[in-house]
Amino acid sequence: MDTTEQVRNFLKSRRDRLQPEDVGLGGGPRRRVPGLRREEVAMLAGMSVEYYVKLERGNLRGVSEGVLTALASALRLSEVEHRHLMDLARTANSGKRASGFSPTRRVRPALQQLLDAMSAPAWVRNGRSDFLAANTLGKALYAPMFTSSLQPPNTARFFFLDPRSRDFYPQWDLIGQQMVASLRAEAGRNPFDRPLTDLIGELSTRSDEFRRWWGEHEVFTHEAATKRIHHPQVGDLVLNYEPMELTSDTGLTMIVYSAEPDSPSADALSLLASLHAHPAEPENEESVQGSVDRY
């Protein structure tokens, strides 16, 4: 991905969303274009207009952390957006060779053992949403992804390209926007990850919603929250989830789900666990299991 273009579009989109009154400036005459003017951002950040114009053209080479922090403050960036800007600057200053890290596609056997020892649904993904490993209940929870024709399993590909995702995720628009923004943040961290670039290109070509949300340049980092799922076997579930970065496996995140005790969702999870405790041997079980094992 072109880092210069990412920087240019990100900074312009953040500038366009602000109004003078948002940053303590008088509105003045009616404006022909939305957002702050470049000279206003420069003034708020304590830099010359010429220097800010250089930054917004995508040139972050040699820019200090202090300048980036001042710019983040002027543009009212969130913590996640500030980190994204810093990621883009690191790439701009290190070049392709130093930024060529690609998230792993495999998990260590010990990590799979840990998943299998957990009674709660749990799975592991990398930054581009590849579903790398799970325990039995985790795979049961995401069963539609494994029976999808879109293999190997990837949550973003299933979400945008399999029509069943609209039934599986009752909050489809919200989850979709977060998923796109998460991939945008990953693209800032690893712009030279070719499988990530290919995934974004595929989704942009095949999904109107993905293409529209990608153009908004939002960034998002998954944090502990609540997710709603409509499961084809046990119905509606309201689950708490905890994403945990794996310090021994750079770029991987483990996600663990739980339901409130004595709730309908807890009962539904128990039912799902019982249905998959001693599963029958369906015709495609090997292929479903292999989708994760091969990956």
**CATH 3.30.450.180 domain locations along the chain:** 109-294
Q: How many CB atoms lie within 10 A of CB 263?
A: 13
At residue 51, the pLDDT reads: 96
Measured CA to CA, the distance from residue 194 to residue 295 in angstroms comes to: 17
Measured CA to CA, the distance from residue 69 to residue 159 in angstroms comes to: 35
248: three-class secondary structure by DSSP: coil
The partner residues of 239 in beta bridges, in order of sequence, read 227
At residue 104, the pLDDT reads: 64
Residue listed under structure tokens 């969303």: 17
Q: Could you tell me the two tokens for 56?
A: 């917004």
Answer whether 288's CB lies under 8 Å from 146's CB.
yes
Residue type, 284: N
**CATH 1.10.260.40 domain locations along the chain:** 3-98
Multiple choice CATH, 3-98, 1.10.260.40, 1.10.10.60, 2.40.37.10, 3.30.365.10:
1.10.260.40
- pLDDT tens for the chain, 295 residues: list them: 688 999 999 999 999 999 888 888 876 666 777 789 999 999 999 999 999 999 999 999 999 999 999 999 999 999 999 999 999 999 888 865 444 455 566 789 999 999 999 999 999 999 999 999 999 999 999 999 999 999 999 999 999 999 999 999 999 999 999 999 999 999 998 888 899 999 999 999 999 999 999 999 999 988 899 999 999 999 999 999 999 999 888 889 999 999 999 999 999 999 999 999 865 544 444 444 444 444 3
At residue 41, the pLDDT reads: 95
Answer whether 158's CB lies under 8 Å from 175's CB.
no
- Non-local CB neighbours of 68 within 8 Å, separated by 6+ positions: 60, 82, 85, 86, 89
Global pTM reads 0.84
Q: Is 137 exposed, middle or buried (0-12, 13-18, 19+ CB in 10 A)?
A: buried
- Non-local CB neighbours of 25 within 8 Å, separated by 6+ positions: 36, 40
Q: Distances from the Cα of 2 to the Cαs of 187, 238, 249, in angstroms?
A: 10, 39, 27
Multiple choice CATH, 109-294, 1.20.1250.20, 3.40.50.2300, 3.30.450.180, 3.90.1150.10:
3.30.450.180
- Non-local CB neighbours of 202 within 8 Å, separated by 6+ positions: 157
At residue 2, the pLDDT reads: 83
At residue 103, the pLDDT reads: 58
240: three-class secondary structure by DSSP: strand
At residue 222, the pLDDT reads: 85
Answer whether 193's CB lies under 8 Å from 103's CB.
yes
